[in-house]
Amino acid sequence: MPRHAAFTAAAALVAMASAMPLAAETAPQDVAYDDIGAIAEPLSETAGNPEEGAKIYADKGTGNCVACHAISARTDAEFQGNIGPSLDGAGDRWSVEQLRGIVADAKRTFPESMMPSMYKTAGYVRPGDAFTGKAGTEPLPPLLNAQQIEDVVAYIATLKE
C-alpha cells in the first residue's frame, strides 16, 4: 500500500474512534451499586455537563424529570410535578455518588420508590416497545444513556440551597 494511503486510513480510523459513542461507558448490567444504592464510578469517560443535564431534566422526550419533581429556580419549566420530592438543595443533601445511583436506579436507594429506573434494561413485567403498547424485547434501551445520566447528575449536584 502506498504510504499516503496508509496514513489516510489510519487518520480515518482515529476520526471514527473519536466520533463513536464512548467505548469506555459502563453498560447498565455492569454498573456497580454499593449497599446503599450509590455508584462510585462515573458511567462515562466524559465528565457530566450540568447545562446539558438541565436540558435533559426538563425535556419531555428524554429525562422529563420535571413531570414529577419541582425545582423553584426552574421558572422556565411550566407545570412542574409534585409526585416526587422537591429537588431544591438536593446537591447539599446527596453526594454525587448517591445522586448517580438514584438517577440510574432509584429503587436501590429507596426500595418502594415510584421513580422509574433510568439505567436499567431488563427484569420488567410486560416490557413494552416504548409507548406503542406492543411487546418489547429485553434488554430494552435504557431511558437515559450513560452520558445523559452523568449530565443530569452534574446538574442536580449544582442545586444548592
Partner 1 sequence: MTIPFRRAALAAMACALALPALAETAPESTDPIVINGGEVELQTAAPAPEHLDGALDEIYSGWLFRDPDTQTMQTDDFENPGMIFVDQGMDEWNMVEGEAGKSCASCHEDVSESMKGVRATTPKVNKDGALWSVEDYVNDCRTSRMQAEALDWNGDRMKNLTALISMQSRGMPMDVAIDGAAQPFWEQGKEMYYTRYGQLELACSNCHEDHYGDWIRADHLSQGQTNGFPVYRLKDAGLVSQHNRFRGCIRDTRAETFPIGSDEFRALELYVASRGNGLPVEGVSVRH
Report the interface residues with partner 1, using CB under 8 A: 66-68, 78-86, 89-90, 93, 106-107, 110, 112-117, 124-136, 140, 143
C-alpha distances in Å from residue 75, one per residue of 9, 131, 147, 151, 154: 50, 29, 25, 20, 20
Q: How far apart are CA 114 and CA 83, in angstroms?
A: 9
Q: Is the CB of 10 or the CB of 116 nearer to partner 1?
A: 116
Q: Which is nearer to partner 1, 18 or 75 (CB)?
A: 75
From the CB of 160, what's the least distance to partner 1, in Å? 13
Q: How far is the CB of 5 from partner 1 (least distance, A)?
A: 47
Q: How far is the CB of 110 from partner 1 (least distance, A)?
A: 5
Q: Between residues 16 and 125, which has the closer beta carbon with respect to partner 1?
A: 125
Work out how close the CB of 99 gets to partner 1 at its nearest, in angstroms, rounded to a whole number.
Answer: 12
Query: To the nearest whole angstrom, how small is the minimum distance from the Cβ of residue 79 to partner 1?
Result: 4
* DSSP for residue 135: B
Cα separation, 65 vs 63, whole angstroms: 5
Rounded CA separation 31/120 (Å): 10
Rg (CA), the chain: 19
Exposed, middle or buried, 102 (CB in 10 Å: 0-12/13-18/19+)?
A: buried
Q: Which is nearer to partner 1, 41 or 112 (CB)?
A: 112
C-beta closer to partner 1: residue 42 or 56: 56
Whether the Cβ atoms of residue 101 and residue 109 lie closer than 8 Å to each other: yes
